Amino acid sequence: MEFLESSHAIWLHTLEEGRQERRRYLAKCLAQNPVAGVPELEISAHLEGMPPRYWERVTESELVWGLRTVHTFFENIVSGERPASAPIVDWRHVPERGFTKVMVCTWDRRGLLGKIAAAFSGVRINVTQADIFTRADNIVLDVFRVCDEGQPVPPESVRLQQMSFLLEGALADPPRFASAWAGIFHKLLPYENRIRPLVVLDNESSPEFTMINIEASDRLGLLHDILCVIEEMRLNVAQAEIDTEDGVACDVFAVTDAHGRKVVDPGQLRLIGDSLREALVAPAEVA
């Protein structure tokens, strides 16, 4: 046991060193190639405030994209032309690889990820991958890889604009009717369970997260229903890999509890698993 704990500590130390080295390298790149229009104070806040795992995944191009997106978010707040709750949604098409990357920037709040998923499903856009990041100042900067429903091609920009409209409405107070409907209308649609849903909670594969592995028949709104359960259990999603092939969704979520730790209580793990299986088989009825 002592050997395993020591090895784990060494692994975490090495991982953290690699992340910090990557952060210092990117900070040097920014110093050599300043981002036009973005104040140094905002750059410093980003470098110091983004979570450590951000630095092992972000490229220099995406770092600049993120800085500009956050800057636009702040500009909109200062201008007062849009509500402070309004998100910034920006995207980059990658047609040669059959997907689009969508960046969402807003304030963190309970249920945010589920609302984002509902906005995507509301315009028939599939999410195939998600990187979830929350800055120290409560700014969310999430990146989604998406494609058109049923085929691996980038969705049209007009539908992404519609998604942005639905998300802004969902985050308004009170929410717009169209946005609220987008989050629940899929529950009225018929669907067929082609396979028996499988939910596995794993605390061995990752030193940092509890991994939730899900296999289920794909359907419109599936991701939204999964995320609603995860959020009801007061779990934080750090990473998500969403993949669908031949009508079967194979999704993996890296989560922590409200304190940023793994979920280790057997009773809580059992409750999470049972709640997810119930949602996969029978989505909650519309009130």
In which order are the strands placed within the sheet that holds 236-245?
A: 88-94, 99-107, 139-148, 125-131, 236-245, 248-256, 210-217, 198-202
* pLDDT at residue number 189: 59
Q: Which of these, 229, 222, 228, lies nearest to 248 by C-alpha position?
A: 222
CB 280 within 8 A of CB 225: yes
Segment 261-277 mean pLDDT: 95
> What secondary structure letter does DSSP report for 185?
G
CB 38 within 8 A of CB 50: no
* pLDDT at residue number 183: 66
Q: Which of these, 261, 253, 252, lies nearest to 208 by C-alpha position?
A: 261
Query: What's the pLDDT band for 287 if we cut at 50, 70, 90?
Result: very low
**Tokens 């996969």 found at:** 280
Segment 78-83 mean pLDDT: 86
Query: What's the pLDDT band for 72 if we cut at 50, 70, 90?
Result: very high
* pLDDT at residue number 48: 95
* pLDDT at residue number 286: 39
In angstroms, what CA-CA distances link 136 with 39, 44, 230? 18, 12, 22
Decide if pLDDT at 96 tops 60: yes
More confident residue, 246 or 79: 79
Decide if pLDDT at 53 tops 90: no
- The Cα 146–Cα 122 span in angstroms is 13
Show the beta-strand stretches assigned E in the chain. Answer: 88-94, 99-107, 125-131, 139-148, 198-202, 210-217, 236-245, 248-256
Most confident of 25-34, 50-59, 141-150: 25-34
CATH topology of domain 2-183: Alpha-Beta Plaits (3.30.70)
Reported residue count of the chain is 287
Q: How many helices (H) and strands (E) does the chain have?
A: 9, 8
Percentage of residues in the chain having pLDDT higher than 90: 52
Decide if pLDDT at 28 tops 70: yes
- The Cα 212–Cα 231 span in angstroms is 13
Segment 88-95 mean pLDDT: 95
- The Cα 47–Cα 41 span in angstroms is 10
Decide if pLDDT at 157 tops 50: yes
* pLDDT at residue number 192: 65
- The Cα 29–Cα 60 span in angstroms is 8
Q: What are the pLDDT digits (tens) for 172-218?
A: 888 887 777 766 666 655 566 678 899 999 999 888 899 999 999 88
Domain range summary for the chain, segments of one domain joined by +: 2-183, 192-281
For the domain spanning 192-281, the CATH number is: 3.30.70.260
Decide if pLDDT at 27 tops 90: yes
* pLDDT at residue number 9: 60
* pLDDT at residue number 107: 94
- The Cα 134–Cα 169 span in angstroms is 21
Decide if pLDDT at 153 tops 80: no
Decide if pLDDT at 1 tops 60: no
* pLDDT at residue number 11: 54
For residue 76, give both structure tokens.
């909109």
- The Cα 28–Cα 19 span in angstroms is 14
Q: What are the pLDDT digits (tens) for 220-235?
A: 788 889 999 999 999 9
SS3 of 98, please? coil
CB 247 within 8 A of CB 194: yes
Q: Fold match between 2-183 and 192-281?
A: yes
- The Cα 62–Cα 69 span in angstroms is 10
* pLDDT at residue number 216: 92
* pLDDT at residue number 179: 75
* pLDDT at residue number 154: 81
For residue 261, give both structure tokens.
């730790």
- The Cα 284–Cα 267 span in angstroms is 23
* pLDDT at residue number 285: 42
> What secondary structure letter does DSSP report for 284?
P
Average pLDDT over the chain reads 86
* pLDDT at residue number 141: 94
